[in-house]
Structure 1
Amino acid sequence: MFNILSYIIFLGITSYITIHVGKRCYCEGKAYLKYLLHDESFCLTINRILLGSYYLLNLGYIAISLASWEKISSMEEVVTITAVRTGNIILILCVLHYLNLLALYFLRKKITLK
């Protein structure tokens, strides 16, 4: 019973975060990519690939996270385990976002040096 409740809460929170952050990065990333690459069609293609990869990676991690859950026997554990798993998803999103920005920054430096 507690596992199902925890799954529902976890899937609700992580789905919302994943979709919201993905849409926001996709919309706001267009201008940043256009500034970096100066080719609008190429920027849109890169942006779509980044969005698809982002969704696949997050869905995969969420599925793995659900598969490795242990039995929950109290409401305290529901809150604790759900918070820790959700926090892991958020930290992964942050790290991936900054790694993408870093990679694009170095790509921009490489393009401007030519």
Structure 2
Amino acid sequence: MFNIISYIIFLTVSSYITIDVGRRCFQAGKSYLEYLLHDQEMCLTINRILLGCYYLLNLGYIAVNLAFWDRVNSMEEIIAVTVVRIGYIALILCVLHYMNIFTLYILRNKLTLK
């Protein structure tokens, strides 16, 4: 019973975080990509690809996370396990976001050097 409650909490919170952050990065990324690449059509295509890959990676990680869930026997364990797993999701989101920004910055510098 406790596992089902922790699954529901984890799926709800982590899916909301993933979808909300993806939507916000997609909206903010439009202007950032256009500033870097100066091609509106290519920017939109790259932004959509990044969003799709982002959703696939994060929602896949959430699904794999459920497969390796330990048995939860109390309300304290529900909180501890769920918060730690959601924390991992948040860390992954931060790392992915900064990796994308850094990669785009490096690509922009290479394009301007030509």
**TM-score category of the 2 structures, normalised to the smaller one:** over 0.9
Give 1:90 shift.
0.2
Paired amino acid for 2:74: S
Paired amino acid for 1:25: C
1-structure distance, mates of 2:107, 2:66: 36
The one-character-per-residue Cα deviations of 1:47-104 (angstroms, maximum 9, x if unpaired) are 0000000000001100010000011101010000000000000000000000001000
1-structure distance, mates of 2:103, 2:17: 23
- Number of the residue aligned with 1:34: 34
Say if 2:69 is the partner of 1:69: yes
**3-state DSSP of counterpart to 1:82:** helix
- Give every structure 1 segment of 4 or more consecutive aligned residues whose post-TM-superposition deviation is greater than 6 Å: none
Give the percent of matched residue pairs that are identical in Structure 1 and Structure 2.
68
- Number of the residue aligned with 1:108: 108
Paired amino acid for 2:87: G
TM-score, with length taken from structure 1: 0.99
Give 1:31 shift.
0.2
Paired amino acid for 1:110: K
| RMSD over aligned Cα atoms | 0.4
How many residues align structurally? 114
> Where do 5+ consecutive residues of structure 1 fail to align?
none
> Where do 5+ consecutive residues of structure 2 fail to align?
none
**3-state DSSP of counterpart to 2:72:** coil
